[in-house]
Amino acid sequence: MSKMLRFVGVDSPLKFYAVVPDAQWVERMVRAGADTVQLRTKTISGDALLQEIMRCVKACEGSRTKLFINDYWQEAIAAGAHGVHLGQEDMDDADLQEIADAGLRLGLSTHSVAELDRALSVNPSYVASGAVFPTTTKVMKSEPQGLEKLREYVRQAGNTPVVAIGGIDLNNAREVLSTGVASLAVVRAVTEAADPEAAVKAFQALWD
C-alpha cells in the first residue's frame, strides 16, 4: 500500500456523527442539524443503491452536515459524496488512490493498535475506534475497547481526528468525550430514540 496516499482533511469538526440506514434518515438528520451523517445500508444494490446515495447527497447540499457513505466507494464517487467510510477488510479491495484522486474524505474503522497503525499509514481524514462499549448493532469481532484504550488510540492517532463508536449514549457520552476524541458516532441512540431530533441537540450540547 502506497505511503504517498493522502486524503482531504475534514474542514470542520465531525462532532456528532449519526450512522443511519437509509436516505429518509439522512434527510431527517440534516433537518435536525447533525454535524456528520453516515449512510450504512446493507439492503439495496445496483441502480437503487446509487439513487439512494444521490438522494443523500442532495439532502446534504447547502447544509452543514457532512455525508459519508459506508462501503460503497464507487457509488459515493459517482454521486459526489463528501466522503467514504471503510472497514479494515475494505482497505484490501477498495481503490484508495481513486478515492483520494476524486477528492473524497476517507474514514477508516479500527479496533486495535495494529489496525490503527495500518489505517494511519494511508493518511485518512479520520479514524473510527471502537466498539467503546458493548453494542448490538453489529457482530463485533473484538472485545469492547473501553475508555483507557480509547485514550491510547487518541494519543496514537496524533493529529488525525478520532471518532468513537459503539454503545455510546447520552449516559456515557461525556466520559467518552473526556478521552480527547473529536467525535461521537451513534446508531441506536438516534434511530431508537423517542425524539431523534432532540437526541441530536442533546448530544451537540456536550460540545458547548
Residue ranges and CATH numbers for the domains of the chain are: 15-205 (3.20.20.70)
User: What is the identity of the amino acid at 45?
Assistant: S
Average pLDDT over residues 148-155: 98
Place of cell 443523500: 56
* CA–CA gap between residue 125 and residue 168 (Å, rounded): 22
Residue 109 known to bind ligand:
yes
The confidence score (pLDDT) of residue 137 equals 66
Average pLDDT over residues 100-108: 97
pLDDT digits (tens, 9 = 90+) for 6-21: 999 999 999 999 999 9
Average pLDDT over residues 123-152: 89
How many angstroms from the chain centroid is the CA of residue 53? 15
Q: For the stretch 63-84, what's the b/e string if a residue is b when 16 or more beta carbons lie within 10 angstroms of its beta carbon?
A: eebbbbbbbbbbbbbebebbbb
The per-residue pLDDT of the chain, averaged, comes to 95
Residue 177 known to bind ligand:
no
Residue 41 known to bind ligand:
yes
The confidence score (pLDDT) of residue 135 equals 81
Comparing 141 with 73, the larger pLDDT belongs to 73
Measuring CA to CA, which residue among 53, 55, 60, 54 is closest to residue 36?
60
The three cell numbers locating residue 203: 448530544
Residue 106 has pLDDT above 80, yes or no: yes
Residue 116 known to bind ligand:
no
Residue 22 has pLDDT above 90, yes or no: yes
- Residue 5's SS3 state is coil
* CA–CA gap between residue 120 and residue 148 (Å, rounded): 20
Average pLDDT over residues 155-169: 97
Cis peptide leading into residue 131 (ω within 30°): yes
Residue 63 known to bind ligand:
no
pTM of the model: 0.96
Check if the beta carbon of residue 130 is closer than 8 Å to that of residue 154.
Answer: no
The confidence score (pLDDT) of residue 2 equals 46
* CA–CA gap between residue 46 and residue 185 (Å, rounded): 27
Residue 28 known to bind ligand:
no
The three cell numbers locating residue 65: 452536515
Residue 104 known to bind ligand:
no
Percentage of the chain beyond pLDDT 90 is: 92
Check if the beta carbon of residue 90 is closer than 8 Å to that of residue 113.
Answer: no
Residue 38 known to bind ligand:
yes
Percentage of the chain beyond pLDDT 70 is: 96
Residue 140 has pLDDT above 80, yes or no: no
The confidence score (pLDDT) of residue 142 equals 74
pLDDT band at 1 (very low <50, low <70, confident <90, very high): very low
